[in-house]
């Protein structure tokens, strides 16, 4: 809102230096966008949406009056003596959207505005049109009351009807655009057609021109929600709609007409004809709130002298009356009653639509007492801070592990398309539907994080990104209710390209390794077992499980997305896409406690033995390692596979495995004979359990 310094100075005594004025007003909660000094001293304030009363010079003058203790000089509101009445009638058909409507007929002489008026309007950012339109804009900038002038000769039957638009009704507005109206839009009509959009813009058919001699001057109050809805739907933002949709003053319409009449008389541009028409079906009374003196200090954390409260609130327009020995009761705008304590009964002016409770009054006191006078220390804590949710730390560890593995975090919607969710639903169950979805693409709650990541991978692939690594942590919604999960997708190269070796495409074992690395970060011993999922390729699907106390608990599922599902979501069917989804709820249940123990570094050297043998190619590696561990004594400290071979020299259906076996004793140095004996025992166990043959 551009405030012209000289205009403001006519209303209240302010410092001559515009910078000082801007700085002092800004300290009361207003942001200064800019200060101009040439050709006119103008302060551009950023007015928050809850303070429509400050979208005008009088509103800012009230703030200045409270700051400097200077009286507010209201502009001339004297209504000139009216001439003979002209025919005009006003009917409100929809008082819910227009609770008050004022109109006054003026006999006018349309022409250019005087220089002082043009200069003030232009300094405030408004273009001069003619003396009649300029007066309405001047009143809006001065008092905050938007107004509109109709050519009376163009209003059929001299009638103004405030009603909703009819189905299929159209209106050509002042900007020359013909607009289709909806039945919930408020229009100002004559006896035949719509002539203006209530609170937004006038119509071209009733626009005043140089031949206009009689006008009907409109000054009304419109429901903010109605104006906002119409403005948004038509994409039509005006100075009037900005003020009405934030909340205007229901008592301002007759004041606006009086000020316009005084200006027209001063300019010699017109005089009123007949009395003011004021349609106000249900008058409203100002709200009364109780302000407790003790509550001010408790809320602000700073004692405010009692004699300062009226000197702050009264210049802002509030009526302040001391309570009668603490026996008063007042009713707030929401209808609740508050028993009185020593303090004040405050009458809230109707232009302060933001003040609805005692805390709002205390904010006004705090603003003008000075927020800089409030203590900077934090209030003492009366209870210890609640510990953070364990899920926060757990999710942070998962993110760190997956980021270290080369994945980038993605964020997808929890609401997804039904067709995208169906393949991932439990046993073909119907996904949980949204009662009022924004569109079919947000129709159900996701049963898995994978559909969103699959779409994200397809989005990247369509933009020529071949190597894709994405992960996400979040909620999923299954038949068991809401649960937490982490999921990732991987396509393209398994590692960044390097000149020293040929690129390797990601495969099942890469994905398995990352999933197991997440489990290892939580000190979980896991196994990988074959599994089946309808959305994963058979033979390339597995579960990561944990076996606590002899039971089996699934922790993650992983594998390759079936090409048909990938193609249906826009991912190339010929590109392999591997995925994994980790149940974070299961991870939380299985995570061991904080009973960490430290082990000293080994004092004695280790002995390594390599063993090579053939087994059935379908035998899981975890089973082989389990057999080795069960057959070996405690001196076996690690097992590491270093070769897997199929081909010449190995029978069909068999696979050759080579492993490093590391042995170490904690109390002595092992001998070669001991290592060889244990190795032989291990091989005999493999032969007995799996038909292994030495190579």
CB 676 within 8 A of CB 661: no
- pLDDT above 70: residue 328: no
Q: Which two tokens stand for residue 534?
A: 């309808």
Is pLDDT at 24 greater than 80 in this prediction? yes
As to burial, measured by CB atoms within 10 angstroms (0-12 exposed, 13-18 middle, 19+ buried), residue 692 is buried
Q: What percent of the chain has pLDDT over 90?
A: 78
pLDDT value of residue 594: 67
DSSP single-letter state for residue 522: T
Q: Residue 615 corresponds to which tokens in the numbers above?
A: 């087994």
pLDDT at residue 321 greater than cutoff 80 = yes
pLDDT tens-place string over residues 423-451? 998 777 889 898 888 888 899 999 999 99
Mean pLDDT of 479-505: 90
Q: Quick check: 81 pLDDT over 80?
A: yes
Distance CA 490, CA 332 (A): 60
For residue 109, is pLDDT > 60?
Answer: yes
Nearest Cα residue to 228 out of 238, 213, 218: 238
Mean local confidence (pLDDT), 157-180 = 94
Q: How far apart are CA 586 and CA 555, in angstroms?
A: 6
Say which residues have a Cβ less than 8 Å from residue 476's Cβ, sequence separation at least 6: 446, 447, 448, 449, 482, 483, 484, 485
Q: What is the pLDDT of residue 481?
A: 86
Distances in whole angstroms, Cα of residue 672 to Cα of each of 166, 423, 618, 681: 100, 57, 34, 14
More confident residue, 168 or 550: 168
3-state SS assignment for residue 34: strand
Spell out where 230-387 has E strands: 270-279, 288-292, 319-322, 329-331, 337-339, 343-347
Whether 110 shows a pLDDT value over 50: the answer reads yes
How far apart are alpha carbons 571 and 466 in whole angstroms? Answer: 11
Measured distance CA(196)–CA(202) in Å, rounded? 4
Give whole-number Cα distances, 551 to 517, 545, 547, 554, 588, in Å.
Answer: 22, 10, 5, 10, 17
Q: Could you give the CA distance from residue 621 to residue 628 in angstroms, rounded to a whole number?
A: 11
How far apart CA 592 and CA 98 sit, in angstroms, is 66
146 neighbors 199 (Cβ within 8 angstroms): yes
Cβ neighbours of 483 (radius 10 Å): 14
- The answer, yes or no, to whether residue 142 has pLDDT greater than 80, is yes
Could you tell me which residue, 621 or 509, shows the higher pLDDT?
509
Helix (H, G, I), strand (E, B) or coil at 676: helix
Average per-residue pLDDT in the chain?
Answer: 91
Helix axes 239-246, 131-143, angle to 10 degrees: 30
* Lowest-pLDDT choice from 94-103, 273-282, 662-671: 662-671
Mean pLDDT for 377-383 is 77
Report the pLDDT averaged over residues 197-204.
95
Among the ranges given (220-229, 280-289, 339-348), the one the predictor scored with the smallest mean pLDDT: 339-348
The reported pLDDT for the residue numbered 331 is 46
Greater confidence (592 vs 416) lies with: 416
pLDDT of residue 429: 82
Instruction: Kindly report which listed range (98-107, 188-197, 624-633) carries the lowest average pLDDT score.
Output: 624-633
Residue tagged 């949406």 (tokens) = 49
Q: What is the set of domains in the chain, with CATH numbers?
A: 2-68 (3.30.56.10), 89-279 (3.50.40.10), 288-370 (3.30.56.10), 390-590 (3.30.930.10), 607-694 (3.30.70.380)
Examine the pLDDT at 609 and tell me if it is beyond 50: yes
- Is pLDDT larger for residue 279 or for residue 625? 279
Considering 69-78, 473-482, 547-556, the range whose residues carry the highest mean pLDDT is 69-78
Q: Of the given ranges (92-101, 155-164, 299-308, 381-390), which has the lowest mean pLDDT?
A: 381-390
Q: Is the pLDDT reported for residue 204 higher than 50?
A: yes
Q: How far apart are CA 188 and CA 244, in angstroms?
A: 15
Residues 423 and 40: their CA atoms lie apart, in Å, by: 68
For residue 366, the model assigns a pLDDT of: 93
Give the residue among 3, 57, 54, 56 at the shortest CA–CA distance from 29. 54
pTM: 0.62
Question: What proportion of the chain, given as a percentage, has pLDDT over 70?
Answer: 97
Which bin fits 549, alpha (ψ -120 to 50), beta or left (φ > 0)? left
Q: Is the dihedral of CA 109, 110, 116, 120 positive or negative?
A: positive
């Amino acid at each position: 809102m551009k405030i012209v310094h000289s205009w403001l100075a006519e209303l209240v005594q302010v410092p001559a230096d515009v910078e000082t004025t801007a700085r002092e007003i800004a300290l009361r909660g207003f942001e200064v966008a800019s200060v101009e000094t040439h050709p006119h001293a103008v302060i551009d304030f950023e007015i928050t949406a809850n303070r429509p009363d400050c979208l005008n010079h009088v509103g800012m003058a009230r703030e200045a009056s409270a700051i400097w203790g200077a009286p507010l000089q209201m502009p001339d509101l004297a209504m000139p003596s009216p001439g003979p009445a002209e025919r005009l009638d006003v009917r409100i058909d929809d008082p819910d959207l227009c609770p008050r409507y004022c109109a006054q007929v003026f006999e006018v002489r349309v022409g250019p505005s005087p220089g002082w008026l043009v200069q003030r309007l232009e300094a405030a950012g408004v273009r001069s049109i003619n003396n009649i339109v300029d007066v309405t804009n001047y009143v809006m900038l001065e008092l905050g009351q938007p107004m509109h002038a109709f050519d009376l000769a163009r209003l059929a039957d001299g009638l103004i009807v405030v009603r909703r638009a009819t189905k299929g009704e159209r209106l050509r507005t002042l900007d020359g655009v013909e607009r289709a109206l909806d039945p919930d839009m408020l229009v100002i009509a004559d006896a035949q057609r719509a002539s203006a959009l209530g609170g937004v813009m006038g119509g071209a058919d009733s626009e005043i021109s140089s031949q206009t001699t009689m006008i009907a001057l409109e000054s009304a109050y419109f429901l903010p929600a109605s104006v906002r809805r119409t403005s948004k739907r038509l994409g039509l933002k005006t100075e009037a709609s900005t003020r009405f949709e934030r909340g205007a003053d229901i008592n301002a319409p007759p004041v606006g007409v009086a000020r316009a009449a005084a200006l027209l008389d001063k300019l010699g541009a017109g005089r009123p004809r007949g009395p003011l028409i004021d349609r106000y079906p249900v008058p409203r009374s100002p709200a009364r709130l109780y302000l407790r003196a003790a509550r001010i200090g408790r809320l602000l954390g700073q004692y405010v002298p009692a004699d300062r409260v009226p000197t702050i609130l009264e210049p802002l327009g509030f009526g302040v009356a001391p309570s009668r020995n603490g026996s008063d009761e007042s009713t707030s705008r929401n209808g609740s009653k508050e028993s009185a304590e020593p303090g004040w009964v405050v009458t809230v002016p109707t232009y302060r639509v933001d003040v609805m409770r005692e805390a709002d009054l205390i904010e006004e006191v705090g603003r003008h007492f000075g927020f800089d006078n409030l203590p900077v220390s934090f209030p003492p804590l009366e209870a210890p801070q609640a510990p953070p949710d364990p899920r926060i730390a757990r999710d942070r560890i998962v993110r760190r592990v997956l980021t270290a593995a080369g994945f980038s975090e993605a964020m997808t919607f929890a609401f997804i398309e039904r067709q995208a969710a169906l393949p991932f639903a439990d046993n073909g169950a119907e996904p949980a539907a949204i009662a009022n979805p924004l569109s079919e693409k947000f129709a159900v709650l996701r049963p898995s994080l994978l559909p969103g990541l699959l779409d994200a991978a397809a989005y990247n692939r369509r933009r020529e990104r071949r190597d894709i690594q994405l992960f996400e942590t979040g909620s999923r919604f299954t038949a068991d209710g809401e649960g937490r999960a982490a999921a990732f997708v991987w396509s393209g190269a398994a590692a960044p390209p390097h000149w020293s070796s040929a690129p390797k495409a990601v495969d099942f074992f890469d994905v398995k390794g990352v999933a197991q690395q997440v489990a290892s970060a939580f000190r979980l011993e896991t196994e990988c077992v074959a599994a089946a999922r309808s959305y994963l390729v058979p033979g390339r699907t597995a579960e990561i499980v944990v076996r606590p106390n002899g039971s089996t608990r699934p922790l993650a599922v992983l594998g390759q997305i079936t090409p048909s599902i990938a193609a249906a979501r826009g991912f190339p069917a010929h590109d392999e896409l591997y995925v994994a989804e980790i149940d974070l709820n299961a991870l939380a249940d299985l995570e061991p406690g904080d009973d960490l123990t430290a082990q000293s570094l080994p004092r004695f050297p280790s002995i390594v033995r390599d063993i090579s043998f053939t087994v059935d190619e379908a035998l899981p590696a975890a089973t082989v390692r389990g057999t080795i561990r069960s057959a070996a004594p405690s001196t076996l400290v690690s097992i590491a596979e270093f070769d897997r071979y199929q081909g010449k020299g190995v029978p069909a259906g068999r696979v050759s495995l080579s492993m490093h076996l590391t042995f170490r004793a904690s109390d002595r140095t092992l001998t070669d004979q001991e290592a060889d004996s244990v190795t032989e025992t291990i091989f005999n166990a493999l032969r007995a359990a799996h038909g292994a043959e030495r190579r």
